[in-house]
A = this chain, B = another copy of it.
């Protein structure tokens, strides 16, 4: 996995993450930047690994997972492009409390955490920018988990289908990037009941399923289930 040539100036993240840095500073960043590609299924970070880098996704889709017992894991969050994947405890822990796995081909940009920490201490605007972004991601994770928690099975399934349709793919037809089991691990239900609910939605004409492809046919009904189910 080779280092890429420095092309931060053209990176779509510049405006997001580096808006507070001067071009000279960005030059400096490039000397310790590392851009890597991961295939679907590959581990990007492993639970328990020492935190050495500050990572974010340039493109692709990843899941944050933690194992809660042998054979059992809990999915914390799905992070899409331009999200941070180093966040939970990155500045307060020494090791990652979760793993990050690519669920689609993903490009990750990593900065050495020590250098990021130095930048935070010396560049207040950069620090503020980091706080804002970390804050937004944590907020998202917390809110998403609360929204899931207050719903029952059909509502949870509706929620996640609409999440992929509206937030990730911005289309009513999309390829489910996750297995039924992964949905189950995310919403805290069993695989069988995830499948059953999807089948019911299909029988009721709310969605069409063919393998991993989902088409939302009756958006209104799905929204109502999300609201009241």
Which A positions have Cβ atoms within 8 angstroms of B?
A: 66, 68, 72, 74, 76, 87-93, 97, 117, 120-125, 127-128, 130-136, 138-139, 141-143, 145-146, 149-150, 188
Contact = CB atoms under 8 A, between A and B. Distances in A.
Contact of A138 (B68, B88, B122): B88
Q: Is the interface of A mostly helix, strand, loop or mixed?
A: helix
A162 B104 CA distance: 40
A157 to B, nearest CB: 16
19 contacts: A74-B146, A76-B142, A76-B146, A87-B135, A88-B139, A88-B143, A89-B136, A89-B139, A91-B132, A91-B135, A92-B135, A121-B125, A121-B128, A127-B131, A131-B134, A134-B135, A138-B139, A138-B142, A150-B188
Nearest to A90: B135
Please indicate which of the listed interface residues A68, A132, A135, A149 has the most CB atoms of chain B within 10 Å of its own CB. Answer: A135
A16 to B, nearest CB: 13
Nearest to A185: B150
